[in-house]
Structure 1
Amino acid sequence: MSKNYKYCHGGGHLMKITIGISDDSRIQVEFIKDCIEKMNLSYEIDFVLSFTGKELLDSSKIFDIVFLDIEMGDVNGIEVGKEIHKKSPNAIIIFITGYKQYALEAFEINSFQYCIKPVSITKVEGLVNKAIIRLNEKKAYEDKINSLTIKNRDEITTISYDDIYYIEKCWKKVKVHCKNDTYEMYCSIKELIKKIDKNIFHLCHQGFIVNISKVKCIKGNEIFFKEKFNSTIPISRRYKKQVINAFEGYLYNNS
Structure 2
Amino acid sequence: MISIAICDDILSQLEIVNIIVKEYIDEKMLDAEVYTFLHPDKLLMACETKRFHIYILDMVMPMINGVQLGVEIRRLDREAQIIYVTTATEFALDSFAANPLSYLIKPLDRQKLFNTLDLAISKINMSEEVTITVKTREGLRVLSNTSIACCERFGNTVRYLLTTGEIVESLTIRCSFSKHIEPLLRDKRFLQSHESFALNMSRVESLKEQGFILRGGTFVPVAKKQYTAVRNAYLDYRLGKGEQK
Alignment of 1:121-132 (within 5 A): 121-132=110-121
Select which of 26, 36, 50 maps to 2:11.
26
Post-superposition offset of 1:22: 0.9
Which has the higher Rg, Structure 1 or Structure 2? 1
Could you tell me how far apart the structure 2 residues matched to 1:52 and 1:85 are?
A: 18
Select which of 86, 89, 93 maps to 2:78.
89
Contact residue 62 and residue 87 of structure 1 kept, 8 A:
no
Could you tell me how far apart the structure 1 residues matched to 2:193 and 2:20 are?
A: 52
Aligned residue number for residue 38 of structure 1 = 23
Higher relative contact order structure (alpha carbons within 8 Å, sequence separation ≥ 6): 2
Contact residue 153 and residue 197 of structure 2 kept, 8 A:
no
Aligned residue number for residue 65 of structure 1 = 54
1:73-106: CA deviations, max 9, x gaps? 2221110111112223211100111111111111
Instruction: Give the share of equivalent positions with the same residue, in percent.
Output: 24
- Output the TM-score relative to the length of structure 1: 0.51
- How many aligned positions are there? 158
Post-superposition offset of 1:19: 0.8
Could you tell me how far apart the structure 2 residues matched to 1:229 and 1:214 are?
A: 12
Alignment CA distance shift 1:135-1:34 (3 Å): same
Q: Which runs of 5+ in 2 are unaligned?
A: 134-149, 157-169, 178-191, 200-217, 222-245
- Output the TM-score relative to the length of structure 2: 0.53
Letter of the structure 2 residue corresponding to residue 126 of structure 1: N
Alignment of 1:107-146 (within 5 A): 107-136=96-125, 139=126
Q: Give me the CA root mean square deviation.
A: 3.7
Letter of the structure 2 residue corresponding to residue 102 of structure 1: F
Alignment of 1:1-255 (within 5 A): 16-39=1-24, 40=26, 41-59=28-46, 60-136=49-125, 139=126, 217=155, 230-231=174-175, 245-248=194-197, 252-253=219-220
Alignment CA distance shift 1:97-1:232 (3 Å): closer
Letter of the structure 2 residue corresponding to residue 31 of structure 1: I
Could you tell me how far apart the structure 2 residues matched to 1:246 and 1:76 are?
A: 43
